Structure 1
Amino acid sequence: MRRRCIMSDPRDEAARYLARRRSPGDGADDETTVSSTPGAAAAVDRAAFIESAIQVAIRRGDFDDLPGAGKPIEGLGTHHDPDWWIRRKIETENLTGLGPPALLLRTEDRELDGQLDLLGRESDVRAVLEDFNRRVIEARRQLQGGPPVVTAPRDVEAEVAAWRERRSARGVASSAEAAPARPRRRLFGRRPR
C-alpha cells in the first residue's frame, strides 16, 4: 500500500510527480523513502521543481531571442580572471572611483595634466596638486594590502610652471589660428569707395 504525503502547495505535488517519473523502478517506494529522509526529499523535490519550471519556460519560449544567444561569451579564453564580471560591469556602467588607491592614483596621474589645463587660475592648480600629493602620501602609508603605490608626488612649483607654459602656448596657437580680419562692411548705407 502506498502512503500519501499531505502537501499544501500544488507545485510541490508536480515536483514529486516528476521525481517519481524520473526515478528507476515503479515508484512505490519513493514516498516511503521521501518520508524517512525529509532533508533529501526536500532537495529532490526542489531540484525536480526547478527542472520542471525550466522545461515549462523552454516550451513557452521564454528563452528564445535572448541577447547574445548562439554567440560566444566575450573575453573568454584569453586568461582566467575570477573578477571578469566586476570589470565588465565597471566598463559598461562607466563607473569611476572604484578600486584600490594605487590603481586610482595611477589613472589620475595619467590624466592630471589634462585636468590642470582646464583650470584658469594658478591657485586652483596649486590646490589640485596639493590634494593629489596628499592622497599619494596617504596611500603609501596605509597597510591594507593591494598593489603597491608607485605613483610619485608631483613637484608643485614645476607643475605650475609647466601649466603656465602650456597655457601661454595655447594662447599663441589660438591667436595664430585666428583668421585675418576682413574689412568691415556697413550694414546700412553705401560702401566706401
Structure 2
Amino acid sequence: MSDADARMDRLRKAARYRFAQQVEAEERAGVEPRSRSLDPDEVRAERRLQGARDMVAHANALIDDGLERGVFEDNPLRGKPLPDNDGRHDPDWWIKRYVEREELTGLGPPALALRKEDAELDDRLDAEPGEARVREIVQDFDDRVIEARRQLLGGPPVVTRVRDVEVEVARWRDRREARLALERSAADEQAVADAAERRRRRWWRRARSR
C-alpha cells in the first residue's frame, strides 16, 4: 500500500468513527441527527489525497509506457539515482542545475556564486601579470563575501571564507616563480634537444659526403 493509500484509509476510518460517535451522542440525547454524511472538510481532504494518488498513478503509467517503447534506453541516468539528490526537497534545484550546466555567472544565491568563485580564484589570479591587480581582485572578493554575510535574503548560508590579501599575494608570487622555473627548465631541455639534433644532422651530412 502506498503512502497516499494509507493516509486515505486512516482518514476514512477516522471520519467514520467521528461520525458514528456524533450520531450515537445525538441519539442518546433524543434529538434527530443533523447529518448522515461525512464532514465536508474531511471529504475535501480525501478528494485531495485521491487526486494525488491519481497523479502518481498517471506518472507511473507514463513511465511504464516509456519503458515499453524504449525511450529511456539512451538516457545516461537510466537505472541510476538522480545526481545531487540528498533526499531533501529543494524547489530551486532545476535553476541551480541550469546555472551550473550553462556556466552562467551573476545568477543564483550569493552563497553558491561565491563558493564557485572561491574554487576558481587561484586560476584567475594566476592569469594576472602584476601584484596590484591581484590585490584588487582579492580585496573585491573579500568585500563581496562580507556583504553577502550581512544580507538576510534567504537561501543557503554563506560559508565561503575571506582571503588574506597579503597571503594570497605571496601564494600568487610563489606559484608564479614555480611556473617560470618550470618554463625555464622546459626551455633548457628543449635547447639541449635542439643542439643534439643539430649535431646529429651535421654528423649525418659529413658521413654522407665521404
Query: Shorter-chain TM-score: which interval?
Result: 0.5 to 0.7
Q: Pick closer, same or farther for the CA change 1:80–1:137 going to 2, 3 Å.
A: closer
Quote the Cα distance in structure 2 between the aligned partners of 1:69 and 1:84: 25
2:181 to 160, 172, 175: 172
1:112 to 121, 129, 135: 121
Are 2:98 and 1:89 aligned? Answer: yes
Query: How do 1:106-145 residues align onto structure 2 when only pairs under 5 Å count?
Result: 106-145=115-154
Listed one character per residue, the Cα deviations across residues 125-148 of structure 1 (whole Å, up to 9, x for unaligned) are: 111111101101110111112221
8 Å CA contact 2:145, 2:160 repeated in 1: yes
The match for 1:152 is 161
CA displacement at 1:104 relative to structure 2: 1.1
Q: Which runs of 4+ in 1 moved over 6 A?
A: none
Q: Pick closer, same or farther for the CA change 1:139–1:113 going to 2, 3 Å.
A: same
Q: Pick closer, same or farther for the CA change 1:78–1:160 going to 2, 3 Å.
A: closer
1:75 to 82, 100, 103: 82
Are 2:112 and 1:99 aligned? Answer: no
Q: Percent of aligned positions with the same letter in both sequences? A: 52
Letter in 2 for 1:122: E
Query: How many pairs are equivalent?
Result: 123
Quote the Cα distance in structure 1 between the aligned partners of 2:147 and 2:174: 30
Quote the Cα distance in structure 2 between the aligned partners of 1:99 and 1:86: 8
Quote the Cα distance in structure 1 between the aligned partners of 2:93 and 2:161: 29
2:195 to 164, 173, 182: 182
CA displacement at 1:124 relative to structure 2: 1.1
* Structure 2 residues not aligned, in runs of 5+: 1-68, 200-204
Quote the Cα distance in structure 1 between the aligned partners of 2:152 and 2:167: 30
Listed one character per residue, the Cα deviations across residues 57-99 of structure 1 (whole Å, up to 9, x for unaligned) are: xxxxxxxx9x758966983997464444334433443333321
CA displacement at 1:102 relative to structure 2: 1.1
Quote the Cα distance in structure 1 between the aligned partners of 2:132 and 2:74: 57
Listed one character per residue, the Cα deviations across residues 149-180 of structure 1 (whole Å, up to 9, x for unaligned) are: 11121110110011000000011111112212
